Structure 1
Amino acid sequence: MPQITVDYSAGLGDGFDRPGFAKALHEATVGIAAAKPPACKTRFRRTEDIVVGPETDGHAHVHVHIALLPGRTDETKARLTEAALELLRAHLEVAEGLVLHASAEVRDLDASYRKFESW
């Protein structure tokens, strides 16, 4: 916890500082949602295709999913979502002529969530 997944368009690969974004988002998550630094984990999933309305060209997307253990207020979740979007602006260069669709969400992990670390 937190479990962070970032889906992003393949066309953004070279202009997206993924390690820098992850580190900055981890810091924000610690500061805003009281997560522990070693617990922050981010994985990136590159998506090959995006279709927006009838268009298959000229668009790119990034969606940040942040899953936390229950107990954070809606205000805290909203602050973290806004921070994620601001950090995207700082770590992402979008090619001219490309329309970026960026979004983020914070949700509670289900009560069934469990984890273990290797021993």
Structure 2
Amino acid sequence: MPHLTVEYSCNLPDFPAPQALRELNAAVCASPEVADEADLKTRLVRVDAFEIGTQPAQRAFVHAQLRLLSGRTPEAKADLSERVAGVLRRLTPRPEGVLVQLSVEIVDMDRPSYVKERL
């Protein structure tokens, strides 16, 4: 914990994945909610098959999901959401004529059933 997954549509070919990984980890780990930087697991997933809406418009997306153990305050969640959104807002390409949608979601993980071990 935490787990950060960022999905982005394949029509954003200039998405700077290595830079995004570094900056997202730095932003999230700077939060007082993350006690140990080695607990953060981040992955980027390029989505090759997707559809946005029903119109034949040029559309793209970047969606981040940050999964945290339950118990965080709404303020802490909002802060983490904005940390992730700020990095993605700055780094996401904006191709000419393409509407890019950015979203960030914070998800509570059930604390009693979560298992984590260092092997």
Provide TM-score, normalisation by structure 1.
Answer: 0.86
Residue segments in structure 2 that go unaligned for 5+ positions in a row: none
1:93–1:109 CA distance, 2 compared to 1 (3 A): same
Q: Give the deviation of 1:33 after TM superposition.
A: 4.3
Residue segments in structure 1 that go unaligned for 5+ positions in a row: none
Per-residue deviation, residues 55-76 of structure 1 (Å, max 9, x unmatched): 2440001110001122321111
In the TM superposition, structure 1's runs of 4+ consecutive aligned residues that sit over 3 Å from their partners are none
| Preserved contact between residue 33 and residue 77 of structure 1 (Cα < 8 Å) | no
Counterpart AA for 2:72: R
Higher helix share: 1
1:86 aligns with 2:86: yes
| Preserved contact between residue 52 and residue 60 of structure 2 (Cα < 8 Å) | no
- RMSD of Structure 2 on Structure 1 (CA): 1.7
1:79–1:68 CA distance, 2 compared to 1 (3 A): same
| Preserved contact between residue 33 and residue 76 of structure 2 (Cα < 8 Å) | no
Counterpart AA for 1:90: R
| Preserved contact between residue 6 and residue 65 of structure 1 (Cα < 8 Å) | yes
Provide TM-score, normalisation by structure 2.
Answer: 0.86
Residue in 1 aligned with 2:17?
18
